[in-house]
Amino acid sequence: MEIIYTNSFENLANGGEITVNNVDGSKNVFSVGSGNFRDAYNLLQNLWNVKLRRTKRDAAQEEDDEKKKKELREKYARGEIPDATPEETEAFRLHQEQKRAKKLQEEKDAASATPAPPATPTPPPGPPPTSTPSTVTPAPSVPTPASSPAPPSTPTPAPPPSTPTPAPAPTVIPSSASSPAPAQPSPAPAAAPATPTPTPVNTTVVSTHVGPQMTALMSWIENERKLREKEISKFNETHLKITEKSLKHGSEQMERFLSSVEEGSKRTEKLLETGNTQMNNFLVTIEEGSKRTEKLLADLIAGQKALSTEAKRATNQLRSSSTAGLSEHQYKKYGFSFDYDALIERIVLKIDKLRISDIEFSAGLAYFCGFIPDVPLSQTFNYATYKIDFFNNSTAMYVYSDVIQPTIVADKKTQLLRVVPASVDVNSVQAVVFSPIRYFPVNTEKIDCIKIDICNEFGENIKFHYGSTICTLNFVKIA
């Protein structure tokens, strides 16, 4: 990106106001025009051309005030009103300062007259207030001393016993070893049951039948084992053939894939080589064009500076003969005038103390002229505290475009292209070429027009009085 602009933008964009507080209590407000002021005498010319924006009073009262002022001037010219002594001047100054302080205090009191919401009262220091406790009847508790035994637990009643099923009474055979029974008549002994005789097993017949069956079973098991081994062997052979065929097919596919990757790598290398060659040629073309542009701009700037130097010299010669008359005219007309002390490089404000009590500047105008903002000027000769700030706290220009995607700048996203440093050389042509070139993504597929905004650090559009501003953007297609 590169930008070419004429240094004619306004450093006092919004102008300013001068408030004059007169001795009689009236107030006059003067407006100062905006513009591009890169020289102290240009600024003085603008300050000499202030415009009165006073609120009109009653015509009869204004006429009476003019008559009184005229009579005072005539008496002073005839010598009837002596010059004030230093003590009187100091007393008058103190009186004016007290009056001004009283007025400021009244304004502050009026501003703070709005009743504030009642604040929550703060309790006085001391012990916290005793609250009335609510009556709570405590539940009676029976103390259990450690030495007293615990009360016996109530045993759980066991379930009623189930009625057992009576078992048949066993037959008791009396013997001589048992305890003697009561004397009863002995019954007659019962006869012992007869024991059955076991039937003998014919082992010869069993062995004769089991032998052929076991032989047939073993033969069947052997046949089954051979059949299973044959099937397993056949399955293994088939599985091995299928595996070999799959491995062969997979290796063929892998070879074809590796061959495709190798061909793709060769094509990619060729495309990269071609792209690098084209990019190198493009960069060489840009570098040659930048050198030519810089040379042309250097010649143009040198010629512009030579013309500007001659113009400044001629202008200063004319100003030196006309500034005294303009300053004196402003002093007689309004009671104050501006001048510039080239030795200390400060603006000087002269006030007619017979007509004016003090003068106040708006914040922006006070800062630009070198005065402290919000401080009234009440001396006869008031010198600026600082030099004129021709940049007016604006040392850079911010270039925005609506065709790029927003990027992060500080704590937000904006469409900021570049930050261009501002120059103090008035009426000069400035050229800024950025290297290396920075590229931003485009936020649209079709571009009908491109909008460029040039703002200051406060986001306000910079106003150019004259000249052309050229902004060159480079677009690169991404494959």
Same structural domain for residues 25 and 98? yes
- And the tokens for 46? 């603008």
**Residue 330 amino acid letter:** Q
Same structural domain for residues 366 and 438? no
- And the tokens for 291? 């050198």
Asked if residue 468 belongs to a domain, the reply is yes
Q: Is 73 left (phi over 0), alpha (psi -120 to 50) or beta?
A: alpha
- Note whether 339 and 347 are within 8 A (CB): yes
- Helix (H, G, I), strand (E, B), or coil: what is residue 457? coil
Asked if residue 231 belongs to a domain, the reply is no
Closest to 2 in 3D by CA, of 293, 301, 281, 427: 293
Number of domains in the chain: 2
Asked if residue 318 belongs to a domain, the reply is no
Q: Which strands make up the sheet holding 27-32, listed edge to edge? A: 51-52, 27-32, 16-22, 356-361
Same structural domain for residues 20 and 103? yes
The total of other beta-carbon atoms located within 10 Å of residue 334's CB is 17
**Residue 360 amino acid letter:** E
Residue 156 has what pLDDT? 46
Non-local CB neighbours of 44 within 8 Å, separated by 6+ positions: 323, 338, 339, 340, 347
Residue 356 has what pLDDT? 92
Asked if residue 174 belongs to a domain, the reply is no
Instruction: Give the whole-angstrom CA distance, residue 285 versus residue 110.
Output: 71
Same structural domain for residues 378 and 422? no
Same structural domain for residues 20 and 76? yes
Same structural domain for residues 467 and 396? yes
Question: Residue 422 CA to chain centroid, in angstroms?
Answer: 27
Residue 425 has what pLDDT? 65
Asked if residue 434 belongs to a domain, the reply is yes
Asked if residue 165 belongs to a domain, the reply is no
Same structural domain for residues 459 and 404? yes
Name the domain boundary from 364, 383, 402.
Answer: 383
- And the tokens for 324? 């005294």
Same structural domain for residues 375 and 455? no
Residue 312 has what pLDDT? 56
Domain of 38, in residue numbers: 16-108+326-383
Residue 165 has what pLDDT? 46
Asked if residue 71 belongs to a domain, the reply is yes
Name the domain boundary from 339, 354, 383.
Answer: 383
Residue 382 has what pLDDT? 93
Please report the beta strands in 110-229, taking only residues with DSSP state E, as ranges in sequence order.
Answer: none
> Residue 141 has what DSSP assignment?
-
Residue 138 has what pLDDT? 44
Residue 34 has what pLDDT? 78
- pTM assigned to the model: 0.37
Asked if residue 220 belongs to a domain, the reply is no
What are the pLDDT tens digits along the chain (479 aa)? 777 776 666 667 677 889 999 998 888 889 888 777 767 777 888 788 888 775 445 455 667 777 888 888 888 888 888 877 888 888 888 988 898 888 888 888 877 765 555 545 455 445 544 444 444 444 444 444 444 444 444 444 444 444 444 444 444 444 433 344 444 444 444 444 555 555 554 444 444 455 788 888 899 999 999 999 989 988 988 989 899 888 988 888 998 899 889 889 898 998 898 888 888 888 898 888 888 888 888 888 877 777 666 665 555 555 555 555 677 888 888 889 998 888 888 999 999 999 999 999 988 888 888 999 889 999 999 999 988 877 766 678 889 999 999 988 888 889 998 888 877 566 677 788 887 888 889 988 888 899 999 887 777 787 777 778 888 888 888 86
Same structural domain for residues 20 and 104? yes
Same structural domain for residues 349 and 404? no
Same structural domain for residues 29 and 91? yes
